[in-house]
Amino acid sequence: MFGKWRRQVRNWLANKMELPADILMDLPRITMIGQIHIYIENHRGLLSFSDKEIRLLLKQGQLLVKGEAFVIKTILPEEILLEGKISQVLYLDE
Amino acid sequence: MKNQWLSYFSGSVKVKLSGKGIERLINACLRNDIFIWKVKKHDEYTASFYMLLKDVSKVRLLVRKSECKLYFIDRSGMPFLIKKTLLNSGFFIGTFLFLLLIFLLSNMVWNIQVRGAKPETEYLILKELKKMGIERGAFQFMIDDPEAIQKKLTDHIEAITWVGVELKGTTFYFQVVEKNQPKPEKKMGVRHLVAKKKAVITNMFVEEGQPLVSVNDYVSKGQILVSGFIGKEGQTKTVPARGKIFGETWYKSTVVLPLQSTFHVFTGKYYEKHYLSFKNISLPVWGWKKPAFSHYEIEQQKKPFHFWRWKLPLFYERVIYREKEKVERNYSWEEAFQKAREIARKELLSRLEDDASIKGEKILHQAKENGKVRLEMHYQVIENIGTPQPIIQGD
């Protein structure tokens, strides 16, 4: 009940005060450079990884990236830079 | 994101993981602040990535808890490079020693060649050189330069008139000109002996020729003393007149000597500084102190180093500070006169030939004038006054 109310307040703040939504609402910020790089901030850990797909845990739900020849260039507790040929970025809700 | 090139200095390793739960292990690494990069999955159960050398022990702990096995594949960065270099250091040391050896050998004296000398003179020269430290195996920068060697050799060895010293690479060449001690007597042309200057004859010793004057005669300059014509009139023949005619001659000399004079003398103390210099840059090798002398003269010696047969632009420089001392000399009037007389006498003797002698001296005039003494001396000298004058014969 209380959590829902807080989310609504944050949403309202993000809309009305033009504050970045990723900070207020703990959403991932995804930067892609063409097909070759994808940079994901605010993830919550690595779920599975192969050279064809990567599955990341988010605050809410999961992120699935599909493609070919994946290499994790850098991985830090909340950031990840992925290199390869990206074809799909999917959000999965439980 | 961290700068990856910094990992070059701390060193990094490439590892391979195989087993189940690789993702879990990577997450564990992230939680433990272990920086990893270039993660690649080869198949479902193997992955490879890079990590810092300092994190290896932490990762080992985590691996033990997981179901994976860890293999080290590659290592890169400074720590490994240094290790490798240390292993190969023998090679570098060898190269360095070789260059050093060539360098040292290039700066040695390897050969001494003496030309134009008799065996005994050559032996003398070699002995003298040995005394100076010049022998096979001596270092070139420890010995004198060729000019100094030349001077020493000509000074110390009587038998040689001149010696040419040349240093070519590692070989010393000595070109010796020996004195021909008993000179073959030159054939003299016919001549008279005439008087060099006006004199009173005191002694005559005629070897050849017809004497025209006798003892106690007063002769003037140019007068024939011993004639080259001998024999009776009508049957004369010409000979080279030889002999010694001693006559009393007179000299006057004036000496002016100040009572007080200052001059600089070397005390014999010196201080050496050694430098290695390259172009204009001098690197002190030995002697960093300032010389403790207030007055000194600086002497510089510069010698190039050799490598193989080339002169390097590298010099060995020796700077010698010689202490000087200011000496003040004060004479009393009597001393000054005494000294002036000595000086006058010495001066005269140096002008005269060896067989001349001073018979008597007289002070003509002596005066004291503002801080100086002025002395005029008159000398009676017995000397050989004969000088040859060739007879030019008409046809």
Residues of A in contact with B59 (CB under 8 A): none
What pLDDT score does B395 carry?
47
Test B30 with A75 for CB contact under 8 angstroms.
yes
Test A72 with B35 for CB contact under 8 angstroms.
no
Asked whether residue A43 is assigned to any structural domain, the reply reads yes
Average pLDDT (A1-7) is 78
Domain B4-82 has CATH 1.10.3720.10: no
Asked whether residue A9 is assigned to any structural domain, the reply reads no
C-alpha triplet B288, B294, B298: angle, nearest 5°: 60
Asked whether residue A12 is assigned to any structural domain, the reply reads no
Test B39 with A72 for CB contact under 8 angstroms.
yes
Non-local CB neighbours of B114 within 8 Å, separated by 6+ positions: B122, B125, B126, B174, B176
Test A76 with B1 for CB contact under 8 angstroms.
yes
Q: Which of A42, A46, A57, A65 to probe by mutation at the B interface, max B CB count within 10 Å?
A: A46
Q: Count CB-CB contacts under 10 A for residue A29.
A: 14
CB–CB contacts below 8 A, A to B: 47
Residues of A in contact with B31 (CB under 8 A): 77
CATH 3.10.20.310 in chain B, residue ranges: 111-178
Test A77 with B38 for CB contact under 8 angstroms.
no
| The pairing of beta strand B36-43 with beta strand B111-115 | unpaired
Domain B111-178 has CATH 3.90.870.10: no
Test B37 with A73 for CB contact under 8 angstroms.
yes
The CATH number of the domain holding residue A39 is 2.60.40.2000
Average pLDDT (A3-21) is 81
What pLDDT score does B184 carry?
56
Of B1, B23, B36, the CB nearest to A49: B23
Test A73 with B36 for CB contact under 8 angstroms.
no
Mean pLDDT, each 10-residue run in order, chain B (395 residues): 71 92 89 89 90 90 90 90 89 92 88 84 86 84 83 84 84 82 66 87 86 87 85 79 88 87 85 86 83 84 82 85 86 86 88 85 85 88 87 67
Test B23 with A47 for CB contact under 8 angstroms.
yes
Residues of B in contact with A45 (CB under 8 A): 27, 30
3-state SS class at B287: coil
The span from the CA of B196 to the CA of B219, in Å, is 10
Per the structure, the count of domains in chain A is: 1
Test B26 with A46 for CB contact under 8 angstroms.
yes
Residue B310: both structure tokens together: 């080339």
Asked whether residue A53 is assigned to any structural domain, the reply reads yes
Tell me the shortest Cα–Cα distance from A5 to chain B, in angstroms. 31
Q: Count CB-CB contacts under 10 A for residue B113.
A: 12
Of B26, B35, B38, the CB nearest to A71: B38
Q: Is the Cβ–Cβ distance between A68 and A84 less than 8 Å?
A: yes
C-alpha triplet B7, B9, B12: angle, nearest 5°: 45
Q: Element (H or E) spanning B101, and its range?
A: helix B89-106
In chain B, the residue whose alpha carbon lies closest to the alpha carbon of A43 is B27
- CA torsion B121-B122-B128-B133 (nearest 10°) is 180
Asked whether residue A5 is assigned to any structural domain, the reply reads no
Residue B6: both structure tokens together: 């910094």
Q: Which of B39, B49, B51 to probe by mutation at the A interface, max A CB count within 10 Å?
A: B39
Q: Which domain holds residue A85?
A: 26-92
The span from the CA of B82 to the CA of B29, in Å, is 28
Asked whether residue A6 is assigned to any structural domain, the reply reads no
What's the ipTM? 0.78
Rg (CA), chain A: 15
Give me the sign of the Cα torsion angle B336, B338, B344, B350: negative
- CA torsion B141-B143-B147-B152 (nearest 10°) is 170
User: Treating both helix axes as pointing N-terminal to C-terminal, what angle do B78-87 and B89-106 enclose, rounded to 10 degrees?
Assistant: 50
Instruction: Write the DSSP string, B226-251.
Output: EESEESSTTS-EE-B-EEEEEEEEEE
Name residue B122's amino acid. Answer: E
3-state SS class at B261: strand
Per residue in A25-78, pLDDT tens?
Answer: 788 999 999 999 999 999 988 999 988 999 999 988 899 999 999 999 988 888
Asked whether residue A10 is assigned to any structural domain, the reply reads no
- Cβ-count burial B376-394 (b if 16+ within 10 Å, e if not): bbebebbbbbbebbebeee
In chain A, the residue whose alpha carbon lies closest to the alpha carbon of B43 is A50
What pLDDT score does A88 carry?
93
Q: How does DSSP classify residue B58?
A: H
Instruction: Write the DSSP string, B167-229.
Output: EETTEEEEEEEE--SSPPPPPPPPEEEEESS-EEEEEEEEEESEE---TT-EE-TT-EEEESE
What pLDDT score does B181 carry?
60
Asked whether residue A1 is assigned to any structural domain, the reply reads no
Test B39 with A45 for CB contact under 8 angstroms.
no
